[in-house]
Chains A and B, each alone.
Chain A
Amino acid sequence: MAVDMRILESLDQNAKLTVKELAVMLGESEESVAASIKEMEEDRVICGYPTLINWDKTDRQLVTAMIEVKVTPQRGQGFDKIAERIYQFEEVDAVFLMSGGFDLCVMIHGKTLQSVAEFVSSKLSPMDSVLSTSTHFVLKKYKEHGLPLVQKIEDERMLITP
């Protein structure tokens, strides 16, 4: 598997870069960059190209929550099986296995507080392996994926300097 860190780091900062731009900026041929990206996509090194959106600036009703979940690991499958049962739900954005006081961190979104609460009480909590849940609602997002969401950074430099 050919992992090209320079391509990955470039795309991690800006997924809009075209193959041509990447090739120019990395000093490589377009063919080799395209082949490398294709291979990394096939190997699921690159899993997708979502856009970072500050939904607070839109009319969209969106509630996001972080749920701490304690579970009983299953024999022979550890936490993977239960994690999979949880992440299959469309409203689940992310699932992480955690160290510390709980096992799974589940990030979910919904239109309203009620819909999130409904998901927890009717879908998540009743699962056999789930022992307990603790739901934390997100009030404001300041920074995501390394990018500040709140303030716009203005170029305050003088137009011409030596």
Chain B
Amino acid sequence: MRNPLNPAVVGIKPSGIRKFFDIVTEMKDAISLGVGEPDFATPWHIREEGIYSLEKARTHYTSNSGLIELRREISSFVERHYDVHYESKNEILVTVGGSEAIDLAIRAMVCPGDEVIIPQPCYVSYEPCVILTQGVPVTIPLQEKNEFRLTAQELRDAITEKTKMLVLPFPNNPTGAIMTREDLEAIAEVCIEKDIVVVSDEIYSELTYGTKHVSIASLPGMWERTILINGFSKGHAMTGWRLGYACGPAEIIQQMMKIHQFAIMCAPTASQYAAIDALKNGDEDVAMMRDAYDKRRRYVLHELRDMGLSCFEPYGAFYVFPCIAEFGMSSEEFATKLLQEEKVAIVPGTAFGDSGEGFLRISYAYSLESLKEALGRLRRFVVKLRAEKQ
């Protein structure tokens, strides 16, 4: 039989997190700080709306772009929160999670040979999506000294004649870094000058602490060259509903819609009805969860620093990204040893790109009790390693 596989797919490395996942699942009684989703269940009024939609037998396809009522709510939400306007009719596409929107945006715009700049460490899907379109991923290793923000200089240095797109993943998973308005203005200037389109993955936009999220799409000259990606998974604690959206100029969104139409048809109908309620009545839930995350964020940061790990203060998402370089081990070695000796699962920074080497991603999407237990074990482990070194 001939080889049935596409070498481009075979050539894609499995996600670095997958490898660690396999080790962890063999460990029966491990506790974890490795989860990239909220610990909160979706607020009940949203779940109830999903149930109600089923009771009303709303079990059919919706329009390809998503329910117009949902798109109207998205339009109003994005304008209210991020000060940027999209027409619900043709500038918004409802997708199966933010991850589908990322894939669509890249596929609709990247041609073979086009270079796509991806700041790392970052979420795991950008690079494979670019490779599948035969584009060329160009990664920028972000620096701890810049608090893992992307600087205009780093961006300039990565740009070539072939650069077409920048993926901008802030607030960032795994580092928790955010970009302030000033940071974004400097990036916008380069993008406009070099005529680069931006795919801005803002899935954690509702989870920033002490400062309000700024969307690059709201800056002058950026609306027309930005696809804004967001969704319900993180802010509204709706990961399992698989619902996200993309906003942008109609000529791009409509091409993305074509791929979506043929590959997906439409996002799950019950999820769309639930999401309408999330946007109409969910601001208070989000504020409550944000407040809880913020307390845990301060707690985790304090504990990590107290055990002597160097750690910049992250102002977004629900991750802290401490440095473990002092122990002379790779992130993966550290995480594996920690798992074996203390049964705590923490994702090594390298699961999110080579520049995550020397770091761990600690999620604080856990109850305070769980955080205390897991951080207590990490502290014991760190103390032991230091004693062994001497």
- Contacts from A to B (Cβ < 8 Å): 9-10, 14, 21, 24-27, 153, 155, 157-162
With CB as the reference atom, state the residue of chain B lying closest to A157: B35
- A23 → chain B closest CB, angstroms: 9
Check A21 against B35 for contact (C-beta < 8 Å): no
Instruction: Tell me, rounded to whole Å, the shortest Cβ–Cβ distance linking B317 to chain A.
Output: 12
> Which of A25, A153, A158, A162 meets B298, CB within 8 Å?
A25
A158 near B368: Cβ-Cβ < 8 Å: no
B interface residues (Cβ-Cβ under 8 A, vs A):
15, 17, 20-21, 24-25, 30, 32, 34-37, 39, 41, 123-124, 173, 291, 295-296, 298-299, 302, 345, 347, 351, 368, 370
Q: A14-B368, A155-B39 are in contact. Are A160 and B298 (CB under 8 A)?
A: no
Query: Are A157 and B39 in contact (CB-based, < 8 A)?
Result: yes
B35 touches A159 (CB 8 A): yes
Whether B20 contacts A160 by the Cβ 8 Å rule is yes
- B299 & A160 in contact (Cβ 8 Å cutoff): no
Chain A residues with Cβ below 8 Å from B17 are 160-162
Contacts of B124 in A (CB 8 A): 162
- 13 example contacts (A-B, Cβ-Cβ < 8 A) are as follows A10-B295, A21-B299, A21-B368, A24-B298, A26-B298, A27-B298, A155-B370, A159-B25, A159-B30, A159-B32, A160-B21, A160-B24, A162-B124
Task: Give the distance to chain B from A112, nearest Cβ to Cβ, in Å.
Answer: 36
Q: Which residues on B sit within 8 Å (CB–CB) of A24? A: 298-299, 302
Given contacts A10-B295, A25-B298, A26-B298, contact A160 B345 (CB under 8 A): yes
B347 touches A157 (CB 8 A): no
Asked whether B345 lies within 8 Å of A162 as measured between CB atoms, the reply is: no
When distances are taken between beta carbons in the complex, the residues of chain B under 8 Å from A162 are 15, 17, 36, 123-124, 173, 351
Residues on B with C-beta less than 8 A from A21 are 299, 368
Docked Cα-Cα span, A10 to B299, in Å, equals 13
B104 → chain A closest CB, angstroms: 19
Q: Which residues of A contact B295 (CB under 8 A)?
A: 10, 25-26
Contacts of A159 in B (CB 8 A): 21, 24-25, 30, 32, 34-35, 345
